Amino acid sequence: MRFLLDENVTVRLVDALANLGIDAISANRDYKGFDDATLLLTAAELKRVLVTYNIIDFLLLHRAWLAWSSAWVLNAIPQHAGILLVHSAPGYDYARIAGEIKTFVDDEEHGVEIPNRVFAWNSSKGWNEL
């Protein structure tokens, strides 16, 4: 599984994920200044799961993606690779977040499909689908 991290996610998380064997790139390095909708589309085109702290905006974009595809009666609903929403506070331990993403990836490899789905993580509840 490959990831694209939103601009609001520290670039240090890319390195922490790489240390765990996970392929991740940062919008800060590669797609600086893209608006949220364009970033989701870019992640879909690159077949990368989007990771963001911007929970409200990307949950809304995901719901719009599904609703509009359905309303436009497309033969096949376009797929994004999935969205991981991380509830985080400034200065949060990015190594722990990397570990939680690694746990999610390991679980996904055992049967959880995430294309066109959104999952959120917080320290008290773990991963939940929204």
Nearest to 108 by CA among 88, 82, 90: 82
Res. 110 pLDDT band, cuts 50 70 90: low
List the domain range (segments joined by +) for residue 108. Answer: 2-129
At 25-56, the pLDDT tens digits run: 999 988 999 999 999 999 999 999 999 999 99
Q: CATH number for the domain including 89?
A: 3.40.50
Determine the 3-state secondary structure of 91 from DSSP. Answer: coil
What percent of the chain is predicted at pLDDT more than 70? 92
Res. 90 pLDDT band, cuts 50 70 90: low
Number of domains in the chain: 1
Q: Which CA distances in Å does 101 have to 20, 49, 76?
A: 10, 11, 29
The CA distance from 17 to 30, in Å, is 17
At 9-26, the pLDDT tens digits run: 888 999 999 999 999 999
